Amino acid sequence: MKKMMTTLNRAELYREIWQMSVKKVAEKYNLNYSKLLAACRENSIPIPSSKYWVDLRTGKDVSDLIEPLPDYEKDEIIVESNVKTGKENSLEKVSTVPDEESKDSGVVNYNSELLNSLKNRLQFLPSDKIDSIYEVLINKEFALNKRLNKKVVNYKKSVELWHRKENNSKRDYFDSRYEPNNIERPMFIKEISAESLSRLYKLLDILVELFHALGEKVTDDFKVQIDSDYVEFEIIESKDKIKHELTKEEARELLEYEDAKQQSRYASRPKIRKYDHVFNGVFRIKTSTGKYVRDKKNLLLEEMLGEIVIIFYESYFEIKERREEREEAERLREIERKREDEHRELVNTEKKKTLQLLNVIEDYRLAKDIREYLAILKEVDPTLDEETFRWIEEKANWIDPTVSFEDELLGKREHHKNSDAKINFLNGHTSRNWLNW
């Protein structure tokens, strides 16, 4: 099949590459990416480094990183056009050729290796979720110098407010600009230098956009919500340990100490630290589970979104498992509490029934004693009238639970109640405490 070729002006191509990147120029003109990259090198067209693109995205000065276009014998170059088929566009057939930024850092960018890494490390996710993550990672573009996300804008304002209050709180109390700093220090900035704040804002903006594109939520305090779980993270700038340089004040204190020693006067040696720990611009993202990704020598976090996404989903799964373990343990504890409550209720019910049985037996014995008394009374006192005998017999039948005679005046006896409750009833007391027996 005949190849399609495109002719480009060399100077114009150089200008567009440094504005857009080789990859985007190839897409703009429907060119074969690898052929375009090779043509640039053959025709001495400089290619921007990865540091150039990251500094450009974060608003830093890139003038020192721009390589001028050298003179060359040709003003035009010819590049093979890119003809795509449906099969080449499928998920498994994404080109493995890295773009110019990733090639400078020795990393294969968003290709089959990324897909394999996602599948191997995120096996706990459904396959369609892994595919959607991959699609976002290879297709999502972050516009240069775009306005920050509203969450990041609000965060930036809180940082500026805190710094203003912090500076003013250090002024003299009688200075009109003095004000106490009574607000909490915003997250991240304790571990980030003032010089790196612009990069922090841009990195946060990228993370917010990225996770929104993945279908997740990012809260106002920058927790990433995946399903019903939240992944917290830190952005930390590393420090270098360097030899401490004496300040003027420290030099003066040291000189006074040495003078005092020479004059045999007592003096305590000033405490001067040997080393300083200074921020070095190297960032790392660390999740609440301890997983982290950090800048590499030639590869910044902004170029490692695949790895960042992986550690966030790994952290989510770990957090989810811990939560489910806690919930399961709590469920089992609740079952045990319920079982204990039910057992306690059964024991109390059994005790109550046993007491009632003893109270009923006590009535039975009392009725038996009354009848025995009545029999003896008939023998020892034959003059006792029949009505009295009948009354005593009725009371025995009223007390006897096997008869449970209903007395015309006293009604039915509550045999299950204890003797105190029964005596109180006969004495005319009807306290609820007694009636509940």
pLDDT band for 5, please (50, 70, 90 cuts). confident
Mean pLDDT across 189-216: 93
Instruction: Say how many C-beta atoms besides its own lie within 10 A of residue 147's C-beta.
Output: 9
In this structure, what token pair is assigned to residue 413?
Answer: 């006896």
> What confidence tens digit (pLDDT) does each residue in 114-144 have?
888 899 999 999 999 999 999 898 888 777 6
Cα–Cα distance, 128 to 138 (Å, whole number): 15
> What confidence tens digit (pLDDT) does each residue in 399-424 have?
999 999 999 899 999 999 999 998 99
pLDDT band for 92, please (50, 70, 90 cuts). very low
Asked whether the predicted pLDDT for residue 432 surpasses 50, the reply is no
78 beta partners: 7
Quick one: pLDDT at residue 98?
Answer: 42
Cα–Cα distance, 137 to 145 (Å, whole number): 20
DSSP-derived pairing of the beta strands 233-243 and 275-287: antiparallel
pLDDT band for 2, please (50, 70, 90 cuts). low
> What confidence tens digit (pLDDT) does each residue in 327-377 have?
999 999 999 999 999 999 999 999 999 999 999 999 999 999 999 999 998
Asked whether the predicted pLDDT for residue 322 surpasses 90, the reply is yes
Quick one: pLDDT at residue 269?
Answer: 85
Closest CA to 140 of 222, 206, 223: 206
217 beta partners: 225
Asked whether the predicted pLDDT for residue 103 surpasses 80, the reply is no
pLDDT band for 242, please (50, 70, 90 cuts). confident
Quick one: pLDDT at residue 102?
Answer: 44
Quick one: pLDDT at residue 91?
Answer: 28
Asked if 189 and 256 touch (Cβ cutoff 8 Å), the reply is no
Cα–Cα distance, 155 to 235 (Å, whole number): 14
Least confident of 84-98, 210-224, 283-297: 84-98
What are the residue ranges of helices labelled H in 170-236? 197-213
Asked if 307 and 293 touch (Cβ cutoff 8 Å), the reply is yes
Quick one: pLDDT at residue 83?
Answer: 53
Asked whether the predicted pLDDT for residue 159 surpasses 60, the reply is yes
| pTM given for the model | 0.61
Which residue, chain included where needed, has tokens 């540091």? 51
> What confidence tens digit (pLDDT) does each residue in 188-201 have?
999 999 899 999 99
Which amino acid makes up residue 327? E
Per-residue HEC secondary structure of the chain comes to: CCCCEEEEEHHHHHHHHHHHCHHHHHHHHCECHHHHHHHHHHCCCCCCCHHHHHHHHCCCCCHHHCCCCCCCCCCEEEEEECCCCCHHHCHHHCCCCCCHHHHHCCCCCCCHHHHHHHHHHCCCCCHHHHHHHHHHHHHCCCCCCCCCCHHHHHHHHHHHHHHHHHHHHCCCCCCCCCCCCCCCCCCCHHHCCHHHHHHHHHHHHHHHHHHHHCCCEECCCCCEEECCEEECEEEEEEEEEEECCCCHHHHHHHHHHHHHHHCCCCCCCCCCCCEEEEEEEEEEEEECCCCEEECECCECHHHCHHHHHHHHHHHHHHHHHHHHHHHHHHHHHHHHHHHHHHHHHHHHHHHHHHHHHHHHHHHHHHHHHHHHHHHHHHHHCCCCCHHHHHHHHHHHHHHCCCCCCCECCCECCCCCCCHHHHHHHHCCCCCHHHHCC
277 vs 207, residue with greater confidence: 207
* Domain ranges within the chain, ordered by starting residue: 1-82, 346-435
Cα–Cα distance, 114 to 134 (Å, whole number): 8
54 vs 387, residue with greater confidence: 387
Quick one: pLDDT at residue 115?
Answer: 84
Quick one: pLDDT at residue 175?
Answer: 87
Mean pLDDT across 221-250: 91
DSSP three-state, residue 88: helix
Asked whether the predicted pLDDT for residue 281 surpasses 80, the reply is yes
